[in-house]
Amino acid sequence: MLVARDLHTFFDSSHVLHGIDFSVAEGETVALMGRNGVGKTTLIRSMLGHVQPRTGSVRIAGRDATRLAPYRIARLGVAYVPEGRGVFPNLSVIENLVMAARPGDDRRTGWTLERVLETFPRLSERLQHRGMQLSGGEQQMLTLGRALMTNPKLLVLDEATEGLAPLIAQEIWHTIRVLRDAGTATIIVDKNFAVLSHLAHRCVILVKGRKVFDGPPAELSMQPGLRRQYLGI
């Protein structure tokens, strides 16, 4: 589904990604982990066209996506829920959803407005509210629901449960599980190792812009030393 090779990304002269290989197979759930500032968000943005890596290549759905504009990458079937959400504050809830509606790259239309509202009933009570009037949890549901309106094959979630009340986080996790079981590939960045270790097929750990671990979560669970060293948990 997505294969990135040897990505080097710079912000001016600061070298943030030091040659990262990263991949997600069809239907695979990959947890991207690491302490604050190691480059998780930068890796995601480098793969999705929001940041230009200086060298390296990205292939998505069998196509070279290295220098592709973000909207073209999205049309290959990739939906992105960025850090800090990205709800359009000046659009109503229903407008946030409707403006994004699109059949998937293979004409899939499994996710409709009705189904998104069924998944997040709270949103249907607030259809006419503006994005800026929503609580943090509602905003997160809206961004996730909006991402689903594009009928993605790969969903990228950067800190989707950050700062949410436990009950709401649970609702988000539940949806992610449903997506995983339905065969949607997912890249998840999150602090909740306990949940990720059950959910993910594979974990990738970054340290200072380098990949230091790539394997099944069971392997990490068996090696508390690795976890402590790389994640501080």
Binding site for Mg ion (CB under 5 A): 40-41, 83
Measure CA 208 to chain center.
20
Question: Is residue 177 at the binding interface for another protein, with CB under 8 A as the rule?
Answer: no
Tell which positions 37-96 bind ligand ATP, by CB under 6 A: 37-42, 83
Q: How far, in Å, CA of 112 to CA of 185, rounded?
A: 19
The listed partner (another protein, Mg ion, ligand ATP, none) that binds 128, CB under 5 to 8 Å by sort, is: none
Question: Is residue 95 at the binding interface for another protein, with CB under 8 A as the rule?
Answer: yes
The listed partner (Mg ion, another protein, ligand ATP, none) that binds 166, CB under 5 to 8 Å by sort, is: none
What does the angle CA 126 – CA 150 – CA 54 come to, to the nearest 5 degrees?
Answer: 120
The listed partner (Mg ion, another protein, ligand ATP, none) that binds 88, CB under 5 to 8 Å by sort, is: another protein
Closer residue to ligand ATP in complex, CB, 41/140 = 41
Single residue of 25, 98, 165, 222 touching another protein by CB under 8 A: 98
Measured in degrees and rounded to the nearest 5, phi and psi for residue 43 equal -60, -45
Q: Which two tokens stand for residue 139?
A: 């905003």
Strands annotated E in the chain: 2-11, 14-24, 29-33, 55-60, 63-64, 78-81, 154-158, 185-189, 202-207, 210-215
Taking residue 218's Cβ as centre, other Cβ atoms within 10 Å add up to 10
Binding interface with another protein (CB under 8 A) = 48, 50, 69-71, 74-75, 79-80, 82, 86, 88-91, 95-96, 98-102, 146-147, 150
